Amino acid sequence: MAIHWQTLPRNPDLPRAYLKAALNRKITGEHLPDLGLRCNLSADPRHLAAYRELCGFGEGGMLPATYPHVLAFALQMRLLTDKRFPFPVLGLVHLRNRIQVLRPLGGVAGVRVSVHAQNLQAHEKGVTFDLVTQVDDPLGPLWQEHSTMLCRQAKIDGLPNPVQTDAQEPQSALVAVHRWYAAADTGRRYARVSGDYNPIHLSALSARLFGFPTAIAHGMWSLAQSVAALRERLPQSNYQLEVAFHKPVRLPSELIFSASAAGPSGQLALHGRDDLLHMSGTWGPATL
């Protein structure tokens, strides 16, 4: 599918996107639009500092590998709430995420961020698609992300991908690297730095409207905390992280992050109470 790119003069307005998301709750089609959005953006130092502190990165010269997702979030929401996009934003489930750091992430000023959707597939629980985000500077691609999203209500023709009913534990021996406590207000605190005010993350009351007994942590918060714990094991560039989100992290919760030994490749896992697996994944050389 050829992408028809639209360049925006400024970062989209998030409150307007949330209003559209609240009003548009129906499935309106069976095909992804050929629309792609681009915008020139820069990292705000104060916002970046707040993100670093919340997600455990501390100070540093290089941009956290998960931060471009936050930088691009308003652009992602603008695409997902476009009238041509067939699936409602509220209710989408984040299944998997792949981040590729292709070159060292410096201050990231005046980069071009682009977003489009692709790879629509039937799934036993609905349909999935990939939300693709890329950051480029004048030399070319810096960073890329594929977020695989599930829309439970939708149906399309085709054989569904099998659902993995059992969470896949990493195969190699992992060692506990870090432990942290996810407080009841973690979702609200992350929403303030990420812009992601999905009701399932904000409070038990709002989460119950969507079938959750309590608020759950953002998957990208869990991933950011994990990347921060891995920062001594990861190179500065030319690597990728791939994770699958399993059971949601109910707030409040105690979490244990484990990883294999340092090296060019490795495995990771995030567990909660009673050894419940919340997230698993790998890192290794970038394949782009």
Confidence grade of residue 109 (pLDDT, cut at 50, 70, 90): confident
Highest mean pLDDT: which of 12-16, 164-168, 169-173? 12-16
CA distance 242 to 140: 22
Two tokens, residue 284: 């290794």
* Helix or strand holding residue 219 (H, E): helix 219-229
For residues 250-266, average pLDDT: 92
3-class SS of residue 228: helix
CA distance 116 to 75: 10
**Residue 162: per-residue pLDDT:** 57
Confidence grade of residue 172 (pLDDT, cut at 50, 70, 90): low
Has domain 4-285 been given CATH number 3.90.1150.10? no
Instruction: Tell me the domain boundaries of the chain.
Output: 4-285
Q: Is the pLDDT of residue 159 over 70?
A: no
CA distance 39 to 10: 6
**Residue pLDDT, tens place only, 213-234:** 999 999 999 999 999 999 888 9
For residues 136-148, average pLDDT: 95
Q: Where are the beta strands (DSSP E) in 51-204?
A: 93-101, 111-123, 126-137, 140-151, 175-182
* Helix or strand holding residue 278 (H, E): strand 277-285
3-class SS of residue 204: helix
Is the separation of the CB atoms in 44 and 112 below 8 Å? no
**Residue pLDDT, tens place only, 191-211:** 999 999 999 999 999 999 888
Two tokens, residue 71: 């930088």
**Residue pLDDT, tens place only, 29-63:** 889 999 999 999 998 999 999 999 999 998 877 89
Q: Give the predicted TM-score (pTM) of the model.
A: 0.93
What letter represents residue 108's amino acid? V
